[in-house]
Amino acid sequence: MQRRLLLVGLVFILLWVVLALLAPWIAPYDPNGIRTEDKLQSPNMAHWFGTDNFGRDIFSRILYGARVTLWTGVLAIGIACVAGIPLGAIAGYFGGKVGNIIMRMMDTLLAFPSLILAMALAASIGPGLLGALLAVGIVAMPEFARLMYGQTVVIKEKEFIEASRALGVRHTAIIFQHILPNALAPLIVQITLGLGSAVLITSSLSFLGLGVRPPTAEWGAMISYGRDYIMSGEWWMTFFPGIAIATTIFGFILLGDGLRDALDPHGRSPRHK
Amino acid sequence: MLPILEIKDLKKHYAAKTGLFGRMSNTVKALDGISLAIEKGKTFAIVGESGSGKTTLGKTMLRLIEPTSGSIIFNGQDIMALGTESMRKLKTDMQIVFQDPFGSLDPRWTVRRTLEEPLRTHYSYSAETITKKVDEILEVVGLTPQHALRYPYELSGGQRQRVGIARALILEPQFVVFDEPVSALDVSIQAQVLTLLQDLQSRLSLTYLFISHDLSVVRYISDHVGVMYLGKMMETGPSEQLFSNPLHPYTEALISAIPQPDPDKRRERIVLSGEVPSPRNAPSGCVFHTRCPKAMPQCSSIQPEWLQVSENRYIACHLYNN
């Protein structure tokens, strides 16, 4: 059962990756091409997902939006990993005052609701994709720091770490060559789950006008444009980007959960071997 | 003969906080004034029950655990005075083999990578030299180059311990600490590994500190023995003398507990009553007085001094204090 869910997640994510990569070839229209004569068309043979208030093809915009969404997710989590993992490793390995200061700072960040913190950061860095990226990266960082901290504290007590110290191996080499590889499995799970929440937070920021600038096709921003048309019956403007966001997040969560079970040798039941 | 390694009054105290908010502080004396000297090319064995501080002693001698006070003199140099970088370089001369052959190898590293690590850490050899040295050391410890491709989980306990020994010896150290190297192995494998250690010692003229709780193993391998109890050295002496004529009541009790293979050879067995006291609450005076069959009134109040009783024998006991 778990294996099947992992596969479902993988299919969702691969589907979006392929669609994003092939967007220029698949998309029937220019995602930013304004044709006011075609505006607010309901889904039909020419415009599968309908058109928005500027007459832009929603299907094409969703394909191009996948590129923005996946890239921002990957970059934001990249920032979170590059900052969070070394901080957690240093705090866990050396401990003491430095470790305490690092981890209390991470706790402080974790204490804020993630969307509120992301909004505050994005607003202070300035609207635009770069601001959103950094904001989401900083919001996701403490989770990685905390996970790596916990892993490091456990792994550094293992005898093979002491053996390396007895051989005179330098601390940096111990951290990168012994501790990090042994902490990789839970980190991969966290990266996958983190990608899901990064997608959610970046689209939320875009929805609130703190993410990408118009006219860039981005799912959260598309929902924001469609918001005014829900009551008047133009549901397709919000529905399709909503489905896109939901399936992406769903895919990452299934993948993350599935990987957690697959990478944990203790949780594996014999029939899945 | 000059000792290759000498420790003087080595102490390792841990502050153990107890009570709410850790207001009451208690000192655990894991090592309390240990002195010994190890001659080049010999095996000095440390015996004692669990919690006696023998592992702490082995690790402290290599400064894997920083001692609270005392001196460690290796080849005439006090290594307590060395800085981080010189201490790191000294690891090529002083090595350790750990007790747990399962835990002491990185599960994600092949045997070859594990054995290359010390070489890459200390030298900038070419790839061919490293491969050659790894293959050589594998052969020395009785493995083959095929084993180099394996991961620890693909090896048996005895093979893993051989890898642990190879890793310690690949830097060609002069002094090696063996922390219960065979206690996790089957008896038949124990004998193989012990023979290997003796063979290596004579071939490479190594000096060993051999930590064990198994007296029959110690008797087999050691030249000199130190008996520890609750962080203190009770008695040291040449192996033969110590086993045939134990002086300290604790040593006597330990030796009487060795199983006797010959059923006709009866020997009086001294059974110690009670448990080892908690190191957090070590007894006053002589730490052994609570269980000592020969305890005298002064034993509970006055710490016995570390005395030389004959050429090579030292003891801490009031029975010999005159």
Contacts (Cβ under 8 Å, ≥6 apart) of A156? A92, A93, A179
By a Cβ cutoff of 8 Å, what residues of chain B touch chain A?
59, 62, 64, 87-92, 95-96, 98, 100, 103-108, 117-118, 121-122, 164, 167, 171
Chain A closest CA to B96's CA: distance in Å?
Answer: 7
Q: Using CA atoms, how far apart are residues B41 and B198, in angstroms rounded to an integer?
A: 11
Q: Using CA atoms, how far apart are residues A2 and B310, in angstroms rounded to an integer?
A: 72
- The verdict on a CB contact (< 8 Å) between B106 and A182 is yes
Distance of CA A120 to the CA centre of its chain: 19
Q: Residues of B with CB below 8 A from A168's CB?
A: 87-92, 118, 121-122
Structure tokens at B253: 């009790």
Average pLDDT, stretch B127-156? 93
Residue type, A116: I
Q: Residues of A with CB below 8 A from B108's CB?
A: 181-182
pLDDT band for A55, please (50, 70, 90 cuts): confident
Q: In chain A, where are the structural domains located?
A: 60-272
8 A C-beta contact, residue A179 and residue A65 = no
Q: Using CA atoms, how far apart are residues A202 and A76, in angstroms rounded to an integer?
A: 9
Task: Determine how many CB atoms are found less than 10 A away from the CB of residue B302.
Answer: 15
Q: Is the model's pLDDT at A20 over the cut of 60?
A: yes
Candidate from A166, A170, A182 with C-beta closest to B62:
A166
> Kind and range of the H or E element at B109?
none
Please write the tens of the pLDDT for every residue from A130-171: 889 999 999 999 999 999 999 999 999 999 999 999 999 999
Residue type, B172: E
- The verdict on a CB contact (< 8 Å) between A160 and B104 is yes
Q: How wide is the angle at C-alpha B239 spanned by C-alphas B238 and B242, nearest 5°?
A: 85
Q: Residues of A with CB below 8 A from B106's CB?
A: 160, 164, 178, 182
A108 burial (CB, 10 Å; 0-12 / 13-18 / 19+) is: exposed
B178 burial (CB, 10 Å; 0-12 / 13-18 / 19+) is: buried
Q: Using CA atoms, how far apart are residues B236 and B151, in angstroms rounded to an integer?
A: 41
pLDDT of residue B314: 93
Q: In chain B, where are the structural domains located?
A: 3-17+25-320
Contacts (Cβ under 8 Å, ≥6 apart) of A164? A173, A174, A178, B106, B117
Average pLDDT, stretch A58-85? 94
Lowest mean pLDDT among A33-42, A201-210, B203-212, B307-316: A33-42
Please write the tens of the pLDDT for every residue from B65-90: 999 999 999 999 999 999 999 999 99
Q: Using CA atoms, how far apart are residues A191 and A184, in angstroms rounded to an integer?
A: 10
Identify the closest residue of chain A to B59 by CA–CA distance.
A166
pLDDT of residue B322: 63
Q: Residues of A with CB below 8 A from B87's CB?
A: 168
pLDDT band for A52, please (50, 70, 90 cuts): confident
From the candidate CATH numbers 3.40.50.10490, 3.40.50.300, 3.40.50.920, 3.10.105.10, the one assigned to the domain spanning B3-17+25-320: 3.40.50.300
C-alpha distance across the termini of chain B, in Å: 28
Number of inter-chain CB pairs under 8 A, A vs B: 55
Chain B closest CA to A185's CA: distance in Å?
Answer: 12
Task: Determine how many CB atoms are found less than 10 A away from the CB of residue B292.
Answer: 20
Task: Determine how many CB atoms are found less than 10 A away from the CB of residue A244.
Answer: 24
Is the CB of residue A214 less than 8 Å away from at least one CB of chain B?
no
Average pLDDT, stretch A215-234? 88
Average pLDDT across chain A, whole number: 90
Distance of CA A269 to the CA centre of its chain: 30
Is the CB of residue A176 less than 8 Å away from at least one CB of chain B?
no
pLDDT of residue A195: 94
Q: Is the model's pLDDT at B317 over the cut of 60?
A: yes
Nearest residue to A88 (alpha-carbon basis) of A190, A17, A16: A190
Average pLDDT, stretch B241-258? 90
Torsion, Cα B42 B47 B51 B57, to 10 degrees, reads: -20
pLDDT of residue B238: 95
Q: Residues of A with CB below 8 A from B104's CB?
A: 159-160, 162-163
Q: Using CA atoms, how far apart are residues B318 and B285, in angstroms rounded to an integer?
A: 10
pLDDT of residue A273: 36
Is the CB of residue A167 less than 8 Å away from at least one CB of chain B?
yes
Q: Is the model's pLDDT at A271 over the cut of 50?
A: no
Q: Which of A154, A160, A263 to mutate to test the interface with B (most CBs of B within 10 A)?
A: A160
Structure tokens at A54: 């500027």
Please write the tens of the pLDDT for every residue from A173-209: 999 999 999 999 999 999 999 999 999 999 999 999 8
8 A C-beta contact, residue A264 and residue A185 = yes
Q: Residues of B with CB below 8 A from A160's CB?
A: 103-107
Structure tokens at A161: 């770490």
Fold of domain A60-272: MetI-like fold (1.10.3720)
Indicate the SS3 state at residue A249. Answer: helix
- The verdict on a CB contact (< 8 Å) between A181 and B95 is no
Structure tokens at A186: 């839970």
Please write the tens of the pLDDT for every residue from B157-195: 999 999 999 999 999 999 999 999 988 888 888 998 999
Average pLDDT, stretch B131-141? 94
pLDDT band for A272, please (50, 70, 90 cuts): very low
pLDDT of residue B199: 92
- Strand locations in chain B (E): 3-18, 24-39, 43-47, 69-74, 77-78, 94-97, 175-179, 207-212, 224-229, 232-238, 307-308, 314-315
> Kind and range of the H or E element at B135?
helix B127-140
8 A C-beta contact, residue B275 and residue B262 = no
- The verdict on a CB contact (< 8 Å) between A167 and B107 is no
Contacts within 8 Å (CB) and 24+ apart, A223-227: A225/A52, A225/A53, A226/A52
pLDDT of residue A266: 55
